[in-house]
A and B are shown apart, each in its own frame.
Chain A
Amino acid sequence: AQSVTQLGSHVSVSEGALVLLRCNYSSSVPPYLFWYVQYPNQGLQLLLKYTTGATLVKGINGFEAEFKKSETSFHLTKPSAHMSDAAEYFCAVSENNFNKFYFGSGTKLNVKP
């Protein structure tokens, strides 16, 4: 069985500060891992994904995430937060057939001026 845990339903950072959103997963098979962002009244947008290969994955808008198998983690980071980063972020894991996604409960990021 697969599951995703996102620690912290709300995270607040100051503009220019480091963003760290945590994601831990459990999977019985090698996981494929994703981060999605949802802006108010919009659909989910893929930020980045890990399938195979390099464990440090770079995505859009300056975000990156590192797959750490030993820690079963896929934390999302951005060196310097921007006001436009305020949104809800979802971590998801998929089996290798891409047919089933398991989502975390989401983390709302607030960026303070």
Chain B
Amino acid sequence: GAVVSQHPSRVICKSGTSVKIECRSLDFQATTMFWYRQFPKQSLMLMATSNEGSKATYEQGVEKDKFLINHASLTLSTLTVTSAHPEDSSFYICSASPGWNFDYGYTFGSGTRLTVV
């Protein structure tokens, strides 16, 4: 149980275009999903917390208009990188929580490697 699917695993896009990354909880309802970014040889940094049916909460320094997060259902959250630039190239990973059932811990997706050329 507690499987999180993230798609795509790799994407290359041209500078100025937008890219959408999906995060799905396959066998549980995720009231909360988290989006992280990892630059090479650095830690995973929390970008935002999304709660189903409400606006995402962004961490300080993360541009809301650039990284659009939608959590329209209990099993799907999407991260859209708008007008991507080479500096947005990074590893993006989501995690999902069923709520306060901490037996699952926090389940992570397999990540998306974004390369902007």
Contacts and interface: CB of A to CB of B under 8 A. Distances in A.
Nearest to B32: A99
A102 B41 CA distance: 15
Interface string A55-87: 000000000000000000000000000000000
A44 B43 contact: no
A90 B44 contact: yes
Chain A: number of interface residues, binned into ranges: 20 to 34
Interface string B101-117: 01001111111000000
B105 A34 contact: yes
B41 A46 contact: no
The interface centre, meaning the residue of B34, B105, B111 with most chain A CB atoms within 10 A of its CB, is B105
Contacts, number: 51
B43 A104 contact: yes
Contacts of A42: 110
B95 A44 contact: yes
B108 A36 contact: yes
Interface of A: 4, 9, 34, 36, 41-46, 49, 51, 90, 98-106
Interface of B: 4, 6, 9, 32, 34, 36, 41-46, 49, 93, 95, 97, 100, 102, 105-111
